[in-house]
Amino acid sequence: MQNYQRNRTIVLSLCFLFLLLFITFSYIHRSDTLQLLPERFTTLNEDWDVYFGDMYVQTVDLPTDIDVGKNTTYFAVTQLPNTPNSYDHLLIRSSLQDLTVYLDGEIIHQKINEQDGDFRAPLTSSWELVYLPHNYQGKQLTLEISSETSAFAGTINPIYIGSADAMLFDIIKHQSLNFIVGLVLFILAIVCLFTALSQRKFVDNRLLYLGLFSMTTSLWIFGESKLLQFITGNPFIIGGLSYLMVPLMVSFIALYIKEVITKRFIMLFRIVSLSFGLITFLMLYLQQYNILNFIELTAILLTIILISAIIQVGALIYEYFKDKNTEIKKVAHYFAILIIAFLLEITLFYTKTFQAISSMLLIGFLIFFILLFIDTYKYLKRSAEQAQKTKLLEILAYQDLLTGGLNRTAYERDLKIQLETAKHFRLVLIDLNYLKYINDNYGHTLGDHAIASVYKLLLDAFDGEHCYRIGGDEFAVLSNQSDERTYQHQLTDLRKRLNELSDTLPYTLDVAVGSAVYAKEERQSYTQFYHHVDQLMYKDKVERKKRS
């Protein structure tokens, strides 16, 4: 065991050393000389004049944030540089804004968030790829911007000019970490959900809730990654996915804590989960009927999440000190990572740092989920091993070691079920004749073989019925078949099989049999009924001995 741990430590240390050296030398020899796709674009971020109507306000460099209120229209103006003709597109990020692009006073592109009707799509932040007509160099570029939200009312994001494919590839390159983390969590979620729904042996729903939590988190990351436009142009998905996933994430993590961690506050976490589930539907309703948009609702939601988190953490701390719940201590460092990540996200939101999810936040989420998945895997592995042991013990408890079939304990278990549920059933009692003679003359080994052979022939003759060895040379059959003709056919088949086997043995296999049908409506005592069947078997034994 010590050698195993030492070898594992050495291998992990060498892997870490190699990774560190690879990163170090990659930094030392950093260069783009071998890059196949050159960056065929440049920025247009310098010397923008800002106007309200015809009134000049200031000259700024992008990105910038102008101090204006929501629904205020302003203009940003610059002169297009003398760039190559292959630089034929502008790439502009519209953050929940209406955007109109003019070239020398003529509209060349427009993005307007539709406001008609009560049932409206959410505001969207989107990439706007604007085609520039030939000989645009030196002409005046004007952006007309306004937003329904105060958070983005004065935002002017960086603007790029260049080849469309180069700029789109640059978006993918800079958002690749978001995509990778989201994809990893999405795949893990699918595995968890498939396993949880296909396996019925798990004693709790932790795998299901972990899968749902991972799924909603991955969708939130995809929504925040600015890559959804590469997949769909649906404004509801682009503008609503990430917002709607936030309360669902809280709902599913509360269910996970309820299932796995807390013992005292199960109802509290169930209420939290239900509440945030209802908040999701409420957000959808308020947005669709144009009462509050998602960005305004999120400001309220994050405050509710913060209050809820304080209450839940307080409850868990109380339970830990009150009940010494070791599960809380066990996963506390996992959730510390998640709490820090959420606090960072809330800070970014309230400081209006909306540009992207930070790399540290993404890595924090990835570490949290990997640790949680590892912990869940270990738990499920232990549960599977325990279930296997339990199943083995159950098999041994109801298995007759000599015949490999059902024993007296199994007979009593199944008899109880029959007495509680069946209106009538047949009891057949069988006793092996001449077992003492076989033991005395041929040895106990052949005696045991005779017992096992009779049990096997019982299974063949009473096909589909439950057969039991209830004593040394005594057997029983519990059958739902009450028809006498069917029973006589089974009995005839049994005796035929016994005669055929006896022809191959140095001794004769013979059994005494008694049988009757127990009917509930007759209200007879089962003890009396059993005694009656036992007497029928004894009578058959005497008669067969006389004949032999």
Mean per-residue pLDDT for 178-197?
88
Report, as an integer, the average pLDDT of 51-66.
Answer: 90
Domain match, 519 and 422 both: yes
Q: In the prediction, which pLDDT does 245 show?
A: 93
Between 13 and 88, name the one with better pLDDT. 88
Task: Give 521's DSSP letter.
Answer: G
Q: How far apart are CA 232 and CA 237, in angstroms?
A: 8
pLDDT one-digit tens code per residue, 436-472: 888 989 898 889 999 999 999 999 999 868 899 998 8
pLDDT of residue 132: 93
Structural domain contains residue 261: yes
How much is the average pLDDT of 335-341?
A: 71
Looking at 121, 142, 165, the residue that finishes a domain is: 165
**Residue 103 resides in a domain:** yes
Answer yes or no: is 398 within a domain. Answer: no
Residue 354 has pLDDT above 90, yes or no: no
Cis peptide before 506 (omega within 30 of 0): no
Domain assignment present for residue 334? The answer is: yes
pLDDT of residue 356: 47
Q: In this structure, are 445 and 508 located in the same domain?
A: yes
pLDDT at residue 118 greater than cutoff 50? yes
Question: Are 326 and 218 members of one domain?
Answer: yes
Confirm if 518 and 421 have CB atoms less than 8 A apart.
Answer: no
> In this predicted structure, what is the pLDDT of residue 355?
46
Residue 401 lies in a domain: no
* Counted domains in the chain: 4
Q: Are residues 241 and 367 in the same domain?
A: yes
86 and 185 in a single domain? The answer is no
Residue 397 lies in a domain: no
Question: How far, CA to CA in Å, does 424 sit from each of 213, 411, 417, 419, 515?
Answer: 51, 16, 12, 8, 13
Q: What is the CATH number of the domain that holds 529?
A: 3.30.70.270
What is the CATH classification number for the domain harbouring 272? 1.20.1070
Closest by CA to 158, choosing from 295, 46, 38, is 46
CA distance 478 to 492: 18
Q: What is the percentage of the chain residues whose pLDDT exceeds 70?
A: 91
pLDDT in tens, 302-329: 889 989 988 988 998 898 888 888 878 7
Q: Do the Cβ atoms of 373 and 334 come closer than 8 Å? A: no
Q: Is residue 300 part of a domain?
A: yes
pLDDT at 115: 63
pLDDT of residue 534: 92
Residues 157 and 193 in one domain: no
In this structure, are 184 and 161 located in the same domain?
Answer: no
- Lowest average pLDDT, out of 32-36, 89-93, 165-169, 529-533, goes to 32-36
Q: What is the mean pLDDT of residues 34-63?
A: 84
Least confident of 72-76, 140-144, 242-246, 286-290: 286-290
**189 and 73 share one domain:** no
Residue type, 286: L
Query: Going by C-beta distance under 8 Å and a sequence separation of 6 or more, which residues neighbour residue 494?
Result: 457, 458, 461, 462, 511, 513
Same domain, 290 and 373: yes
Whole-number average pLDDT of the chain: 85
516 in Cβ contact with 532 (< 8 Å): yes
Q: Distance between CA atoms of 390 and 378, rounded to whole angstroms? A: 18
Q: For 474-484, write each residue's pLDDT tens digit.
A: 999 998 888 88
The verdict on residue 399 lying in a domain is no
Residue 93 pLDDT exceeds 90: yes
Domain boundary among 346, 365, 391: 391
Residue 366 sits in the same domain as residue 471: no
For residues 406 and 398, the answer to whether their CB atoms sit within 8 Å is: yes
Same domain, 539 and 450: yes
Residue 421 lies in domain: 408-547
Q: Give the pLDDT band (50/70/90) at residue 371.
A: confident
Question: What is the mean pLDDT of the segment spanning 326-335?
Answer: 77
Query: Mean of the pLDDT values across residues 123-152?
Result: 91
User: Pick from 365, 391, 417: which residue ends a domain?
Assistant: 391
Same domain, 253 and 317: yes
Q: Indicate if the pLDDT at residue 53 is higher than 90.
A: no
Residue 246: which pLDDT band, with cuts at 50, 70 and 90?
very high
The residue-averaged pLDDT of 166-178 equals 86
